[in-house]
């Protein structure tokens, strides 16, 4: 019997292990199963490359609860350890590793969330002491003629190491679960953890048994009952789709993997992107585009990060570009440093490369989807536009690439790329200053009359309705040359695309002044800026418009990023455009009594407000009353 001190030079780190990361005690299981997996894969490697007589077989890892004795067992059939190796790997290497890890975070004990240490890899074997008061290792090396070893440690720096009785190759870790950690003796809790961390690990993991029904052969007698059998309950899929070659997978395989990842998700993904690089970093994974609604916030935290098929976190901020956190799926990379803080991660060169690789892959995929089947891409546009528009706004590289597939739909359901749109409208929608004006609407119903007025001139009107569109428009205006966007209700159509300098007014200057005075008497200047315009006589007499710049700034402010203009809580701004060439305006001027004039003005103003959806409440009631009076 050997007794010894793990490391005499060191103060007792066990209380620290226990205290530290108290919200994350559960990771001990992931660490121990990772070790069991490593040991099994190492054996596989040895069996493959050396001529040592190693029978690899079909090894599995077993997790077993002994509720009576308050023990949890993790058993593998990997390469095992000799007594010398236990001393070296457990007492020395693993211990100093844990020590180093704790040293780094000692002062932040219990504040793991705040420091944002991703996944907390690094504590390793000794994380067992977060939940156990005593830990035993029973192990037998694959090497011939080596005795089994039995190591015991009760959470002090003292350990015992004796000859063991284990007959078969591999390692069994026995945790004597501490009083305050008995939750880890509950089957449901262990099940939950296995599902969270180990669902896709490469070695089959057995947890108990289950009843399975053996399907009957096709020619079975009709009275035959299917046979029931007790089989191992294997909790993981050791060969998840992302570890396979894209060429070996069909569309259906990707879909069924999606269901495996998100069993509660009934909607199918729109398409997937298989990531696969080995230089200059290793990364595999599958990203899915789900249908994305206009609510940007609720859909994050759906991408899972793995390291060699071990789940690490579903918070991939800083690894995946922000705009892609709306996607779903998995990424797996051994090259993402995991036990470091998020702020460090942000500056890490390898991580930056990974983010830009993912961005490029997504852009390439979108481009090929667009080229291969444009019709289908157009159909999906509404469900994917938010991600693409967000990406164009936040990643310059993506913005450049997106020119090839970003679409600009019209109110008539046509879809143009930017270049197509440009060529289509450049002849007709260029104003007298040679500026191309792109007209858009945000709502077909609310802006119906304005859309019709634009169409009557032969103009194309886009339908741009995503919540971040004002930001994107702003960006397009600065990055494309000599263009501007205008919402159809931003001004009268002749002013939106000015073709000539002046139109002849039917009114004399004197009449204009008279009209101006009259309007100002009746219409509150706080609500509307009155603007007299000589327009076509068949255009509407009164039109309410909302100047593009102010409205857009306001929208940008509401969706973030507006305060940089120093305009908090900007008021709604409306103009009232009065067509001086319209018959009704002449009629207002010619009417004898003041009262009648006022009534005509109010009625016209209300009609204009009605067409902008601005007439509500008491004003609407009064309008309706007045209208009945007039037709009586």
Coil vs helix vs strand at 452? helix
Least Å from the CB of residue 139 to ligand ADP: 6
Quick one: which of 13, 72, 83, 90 contacts ligand ADP (CB under 6 A)? 90
Quick one: which of 20, 28, 125, 459 contacts ligand ADP (CB under 6 A)? 125
Coil vs helix vs strand at 466? coil
Identify which of residues 124 and 269 has a Cβ nearer to ligand ADP in the complex.
124
Is residue 77 close enough to count as binding ligand ADP by CB under 6 A? no
Q: At residue 39, what are phi and psi to the nearest 5 degrees?
A: -60, -35
Identify which of residues 125 and 459 has a Cβ nearer to ligand ADP in the complex.
125
Identify which of residues 35 and 410 has a Cβ nearer to ligand ADP in the complex.
35
Quick one: which of 59, 78, 119, 124 contacts Mg ion (CB under 5 A)? 124
> Could you tell me which stretch among 1-9, 32-40, 227-235, 295-303 binds ligand ADP (CB under 6 A)?
32-40
**Residue 78 contact, options ligand ADP, Mg ion, none, Cβ 5-8 Å cut-off depending on partner type:** ligand ADP
Is residue 31 close enough to count as binding ligand ADP by CB under 6 A? yes
* Residue of this chain nearest to Mg ion (CB atom): 124
> What SS3 string covers 65-123?
EECCCCEEEEEECCCCCCHHHHHHHHHHHHHHHHHHHHHHHHHHCCCHHHHCCCCCCCC
Least Å from the CB of residue 401 to Mg ion: 40
Quick one: which of 81, 148, 319, 421 contacts ligand ADP (CB under 6 A)? 81
* Residue of this chain nearest to ligand ADP (CB atom): 124
Is residue 35 close enough to count as binding ligand ADP by CB under 6 A? yes
Quick one: which of 14, 25, 35, 393 contacts Mg ion (CB under 5 A)? 35
**Residue 39 contact, options ligand ADP, Mg ion, none, Cβ 5-8 Å cut-off depending on partner type:** ligand ADP
Q: Find all residues with CB under 8 Å of 487, minimum gap 6, and list them.
A: 439, 440, 441, 442, 447, 546, 548, 551
Taking the CB of residue 501, how many other CB atoms lie within 10 A of it? 6
Is residue 89 close enough to count as binding ligand ADP by CB under 6 A? yes
Is residue 175 close enough to count as binding ligand ADP by CB under 6 A? no
Nearest to 128 by CA among 174, 82, 64, 83: 174
Quick one: which of 73, 97, 133, 467 contacts ligand ADP (CB under 6 A)? 97
Number of chain residues interacting with ligand ADP (CB under 6 A): 16
Quote the longest CA-to-CA distance of the chain: 120
Is residue 534 close enough to count as binding ligand ADP by CB under 6 A? no
Helices 594-611 and 617-631: crossing angle in degrees, nearest 10, is 120
**421 contacts 429 by C-beta, under 8 angstroms:** no
Is residue 102 close enough to count as binding ligand ADP by CB under 6 A? no
> What SS3 string covers 227-291?
EEEEEEEECCCCCCHHHCCHHHCCHHHHHHHHHHHCCCCCCCCCEEEEEEECCCCCEEEEEEECC
Is residue 122 close enough to count as binding Mg ion by CB under 5 A? no
Is residue 40 close enough to count as binding Mg ion by CB under 5 A? no
Q: What is the per-residue DSSP string for 324-380?
A: GGGSEEEEE-TTS--SS-HHHHHH-HHHHHHHHHHHHHHHHHHHHHHHH-HHHHHHH
Is residue 124 close enough to count as binding ligand ADP by CB under 6 A? yes
Q: How far apart are CA 272 and CA 405, in angstroms?
A: 16
Identify which of residues 93 and 456 has a Cβ nearer to ligand ADP in the complex.
93
Coil vs helix vs strand at 172? strand
Question: What are the residues binding Mg ion (CB under 5 A)?
Answer: 35, 124
Question: What are the residues binding ligand ADP (CB under 6 A)?
Answer: 31, 35-36, 38-39, 76, 78, 81, 89-90, 93-94, 97, 124-125, 171
């Amino acid at each position: 019997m050997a007794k010894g001190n793990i490391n005499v030079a060191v103060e007792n780190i066990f209380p620290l292990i226990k205290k530290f990361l108290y919200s994350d005690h559960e990771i001990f299981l992931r660490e121990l199963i990772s070790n069991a997996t490593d040991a099994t894969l190492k054996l596989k490697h040895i069996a493959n490359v050396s001529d040592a007589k190693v029978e690899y077989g079909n090894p599995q890892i077993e997790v077993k609860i002994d509720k009576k004795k308050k023990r949890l067992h993790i058993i593998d059939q990997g390469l095992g350890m000799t007594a010398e190796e236990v001393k070296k790997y457990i007492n020395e290497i693993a211990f100093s590793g844990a020590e180093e890890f704790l040293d780094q975070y000692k002062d932040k004990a219990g504040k793991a969330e705040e420091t944002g240490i991703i996944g907390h890899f690094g504590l390793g074997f000794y994380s067992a002491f977060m939940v156990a008061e005593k830990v035993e290792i029973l192990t037998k090396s694959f090497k011939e003629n080596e005795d089994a070893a039995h190591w015991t440690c009760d959470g002090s720096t003292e350990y015992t190491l004796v000859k063991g009785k284990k007959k078969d190759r591999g390692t069994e870790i026995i945790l004597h679960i501490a009083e305050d950690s008995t939750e880890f003796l509950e089957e449901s809790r262990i099940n939950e953890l296995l599902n969270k961390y180990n669902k896709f690990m490469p070695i089959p993991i057995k947890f108990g048994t289950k009843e399975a029904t053996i399907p009957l052969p096709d020619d079975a007698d009709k009275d035959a009952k299917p046979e029931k059998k007790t089989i191992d309950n294997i909790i993981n899929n050791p060969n998840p789709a992302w570890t396979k070659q894209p060429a070996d997978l069909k569309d259906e395989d990707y879909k069924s993997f999606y269901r495996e990842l998100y069993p509660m998700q009934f909607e199918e993904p729109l398409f997937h992107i298989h990531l696969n690089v080995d230089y200059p970093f290793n990364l595999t994974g599958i990203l899915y585009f789900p249908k994305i609604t206009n609510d940007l916030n609720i859909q994050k935290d759906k991408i899972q990060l793995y390291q060699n098929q071990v789940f690490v976190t579903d918070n991939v901020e800083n690894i995946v570009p922000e705009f892609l956190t709306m996607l779903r799926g998995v990424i797996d990379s051994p090259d993402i440093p995991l036990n470091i803080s998020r702020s460090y991660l942000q500056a890490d060169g390898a991580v930056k490369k990974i983010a830009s690789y993912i961005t490029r892959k997504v852009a390439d995929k979108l481009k090929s989807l667009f080229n291969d089947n444009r019709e289908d891409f157009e159909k999906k546009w509404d469900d994917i536009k938010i991600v693409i528009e967000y990406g164009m706004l936040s990643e310059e590289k993506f913005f450049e690439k997106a020119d090839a597939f970003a679409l600009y739909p019209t109110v008539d359901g046509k879809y143009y790329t930017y270049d197509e749109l440009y060529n289509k409208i450049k002849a007709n929608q260029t104003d007298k200053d040679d500026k191309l004006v792109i007209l858009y609407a945000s709502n077909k119903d609310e802006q119906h009359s304005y859309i019709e007025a634009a169409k009557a001139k032969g103009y194309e009107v886009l339908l741009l309705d995503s919540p971040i569109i004002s930001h994107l428009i702003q960006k397009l205006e600065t990055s494309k040359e000599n263009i501007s966007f205008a919402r159809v209700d931003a001004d009268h159509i002749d002013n939106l695309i000015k073709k000539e300098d002046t139109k002849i007014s039917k009114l004399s200057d004197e009449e204009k002044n008279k009209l101006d005075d009259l309007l100002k008497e009746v219409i509150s200047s706080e609500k509307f800026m009155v603007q007299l315009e000589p327009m076509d006589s068949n255009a509407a007499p009164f039109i309410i418009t909302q100047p593009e710049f102010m409205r857009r700034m306001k929208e940008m402010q509401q969706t973030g990023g507006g305060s940089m203009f120093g305009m908090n809580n900007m008021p709604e701004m409306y103009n009232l455009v009065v067509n001086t060439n319209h018959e009704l305006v002449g009629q207002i001027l010619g009417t004898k009594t003041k009262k009648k004039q006022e009534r005509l003005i109010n009625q016209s103003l209300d009609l204009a407000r009605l067409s902008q959806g601005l007439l509500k409440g008491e004003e609407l009631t009064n309008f309706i009353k007045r209208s009945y009076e007039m037709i009586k």
